[in-house]
Structure 1
């Protein structure tokens, strides 16, 4: 019979084997994605304490996984430099915010979600990550449709605790289990990208792919979100451009990439000049007018602290400045700035905005180049998700909190692993007989 001391000695080996297993990595990835994407429903049903406890538990497990797999992971390539600097600047801003305690705990939430994304980025490759996200979104979108059918058709009554208005019989707008129609539309677009990549890579059965695409497309349309059309156009243009680059001869790709970059800049300028006709065409005039009023007030307040901002809060804290003043001045109850770039500018100043744009743009360039040079279509998943995040950031602040922030960090980590200057340093270290932690083999 094994003694208690013997059992204690063998426990770490058993736990280490579990944490290092492929099955645990897949289960952990699905759990993280499920909790973060289902955060609204979890908080409304079980409370915020439950959600925080789940995130804390996943972070503890993530630390254990990284420790067990430390020999497989390069410390030099663990986290993108731009992410470290951005999160570090957000932490510094806590000291000059109007509410240090609230700002600090908001930063902890931001750092925790970033850590979970880093763990997933090192546990799973791009195909495995896309497959896990596809499974999670199939379940959550199916649950959203079921809730809308129950509320809008079978019971014909709203579910206020979930934010469901029960408008399915009128063909929308619907919210599902994501709280708002804009969030549902945003998630549906991410799901469409993922489901189409699954179909192209044949990683799931064709029937499952087709049903998944119809489900995501139907909910995107029923959400009646004015941003969905803009997202669809942006992602569609990115798909066309990427397909063109991938089918161009390698010696001509450089010139084509430069041309596409110039075209994007031109499109942004034209879009800004023709913004009013475009807004009228998509039927979002009143919505956009409200956003412009909000952004103008944010810019005016930002001038008081142009470099450092007002301090990091992520999602707005209604009782703290400058958010309480903004809502009082506008007679509204905004929970975000409805634009990730203006939100970062207000909270972290010009330094924070430059760091945020650097984080996103470097990740996009790295992933775009990897997708244009490598044969497998799976490499297109990362840049297309990033395009969706960056386009949506012009109308919502989803990319700064919750699932949007986690997906941005996850894509940045995946892009850094597939194409980074630190990869060459690792290669030189390996040739010199040095493992990734810098110690002699």
Structure 2
């Protein structure tokens, strides 16, 4: 690499542009795949990994590794890698490992070269482009030509008030992007990272996404994120001694709320008009449970996003007879693929990342430190009805949030 190329690849502007490209690609990988096919999507992923590696190599003096790599997250990637030994579909597992590692490496790159406010700005910029393009396509499909864009998963239902799918491909995935957008745009407003006009446009765009997606589960997810956000506001305004007592009360309240939510789950489902959606998911979970019972400890082997032509994924169907793209629950999905060991490692990795992020958000003054904690809440709650956490954009957000939390609060950071 010549000095001139190294200066460009190692510059802050290149890192910023590459980070926004990575985030944008990860959040709409499905749309990229629909347009370019698997070869094109894999080529883009490989190209981004190569550019990220070159960028890291060009700026070694800016990289601080110590305490940034959470052992729990590394253990999760290690387990999915060694699952090739007992996998029931070896070559699918090899491909799934490479695919997951690609997004893991990109998440690591972002955590190493970007600070938290730069990360939030990158996510915000990517989401503004994605959501704007999504509504342009929805207007084209639903109002101008009145024809579904089936290759993108757009049904053209905007004129009827939704549900719409945008570039996410499904209404639930589109609502997830809307929830992430609300969180990211709110952080931008609080940190005065963008102009007032851009803030107003961004928040209106995110709100329209939630409204027109009409996702039954998004209301519950948003309620969980809002509750966590309000709790953080309360904690952040207290002194250290009072904060510890409040943390304990919040922990007990969370346990009580979890029990009540489970006891009154039927009423909650009815309240958000999600009975049909839940019926579809429970039918999938029932089929998946039967396959989990066959290999409960080690699982069938890592696959990531379901290859619908491979057993047992090929024989799983929902109550409508359609093949789902996943187990529609990240926790059941990883239990199926990596067994009880994978489920425990995922829960530990999520819990440790959340605790670190929560403590950092409680102690640091800047509002930007709230973003990793609330993003992890968004991922954890969404994972009860979708498997986004295990692949592509969800996996990238998980890795980046976990690494950002570890950078600010890791026991290894105290070692010489």
TM-score by length of 1: 0.92
* Cα distance in 2 between the residues matched to 1:48 and 1:319: 15
Task: Tell me if the contact between 1:120 and 1:410 (Cα under 8 Å) persists in the aligned partners.
Answer: yes
Partner residue, 1:249:
239
Could you say which residue in structure 1 is the equivalent of 2:77?
87
Answer yes or no: is 1:18 the counterpart of 2:14. no
Distance 1:23 1:279 in 2: 46
Give deviations 1:115-140, integer Å, cap 9, x for gaps.
00000011100000000110110011
Alignment check: 8 A CA contact 1:172 1:222 kept: yes
User: How far apart, in 1, do the equivalents of 2:301 and 2:408 lie?
Assistant: 33
Per-residue CA deviation, residues 272-299 of structure 1 (Å, 9 max, x unaligned), is 1111111111111122122122212222
Tell me what 1:55 maps to.
45
Residue 364 in structure 1 maps to residue 341 in structure 2: no
1:289 paired residue among 279, 282, 307: 279
Give unmatched runs, 5+ long, in structure 2. none
Determine if contact 1:94/1:311 at 8 Å carries over to the other structure.
Answer: yes
Partner of 1:420: 410
CA RMSD of the aligned region, Å?
1.4
Give how far 1:177 is off.
1.1
Q: Is the 8 A contact 1:107 1:312 kept in 2?
A: yes
Pairwise CA distance, 1:322: 2.0
Q: Does 1:140 align with 2:137?
A: no
**1:393-415: CA deviation from partner (whole Å, max 9, x where unpaired):** 01100111111111011101101
Q: Secondary structure of the residue that 2:166 maps to in structure 1? A: coil
Partner of 1:104: 94
2:343 alignment counterpart: 353
**Equivalents in 2 of 1:179, 1:26: separation in Å?**
27
Contact 1:340–1:399 (CA<8 Å) still a contact in 2?
Answer: yes
SS at match of 2:168: coil
Q: What is the distance in 2 between the residues matched to 1:188 and 1:23? A: 27
Cα shift readout 1:281-321 (whole Å, capped 9, x = no counterpart): 11111221221222122223212211101111111122222
* CA shift for structure 1 position 76: 3.5
Note if 1:375 corresponds to 2:375. Answer: no
> Which SS does the other structure have where 2:66 is aligned?
helix
Match of 1:173 among 140, 163, 185: 163
Partner of 1:392: 382
Partner of residue 314 from structure 1, selected from 304, 307, 318: 304
Selected match of 1:124 from 102, 114, 120 = 114
Cα distance in structure 1, aligned partners of 2:63 and 2:76: 22
Distance across 1 between alignment mates of 2:401 and 2:76: 16
Deviates more, 1:407-416 or 1:281-290: 281-290
Aligned in 2, Cα 1:374/1:328: closer, same or farther, shift over 3 Å? closer
CA distance in structure 2 between the aligned counterparts of 1:401 and 1:127, rounded to whole angstroms: 24
Counterparts in 2 of 1:168-207, with a 5 A limit?
A: 168-207=158-197
Aligned counterparts of 2:84 and 2:255: Cα–Cα separation in 1: 35
- Residue by residue over 1:157-192, the C-alpha shift from the partner in whole angstroms, topping out at 9 and shown as x without a partner, is 111111111110100000111111111000110001
| Structure-1 residue corresponding to 2:151 | 161
CA–CA distance in structure 1, aligned partners of residues 306 and 405 of structure 2: 30
What's the secondary structure of 2:352's corresponding residue? helix
Cα displacement (A) at 1:73: 2.4
Match of residue 436 from structure 1:
none
Q: Structure 2 length normalisation: TM-score?
A: 0.97
- The separation in 1 between residues aligned to 2:310 and 2:318, in whole angstroms, is 12
Bigger drift between 314-323 and 157-166 goes to: 314-323
Supply the distance in 2 between the matched residues of 1:181 and 1:280 (Cα, whole angstroms): 19
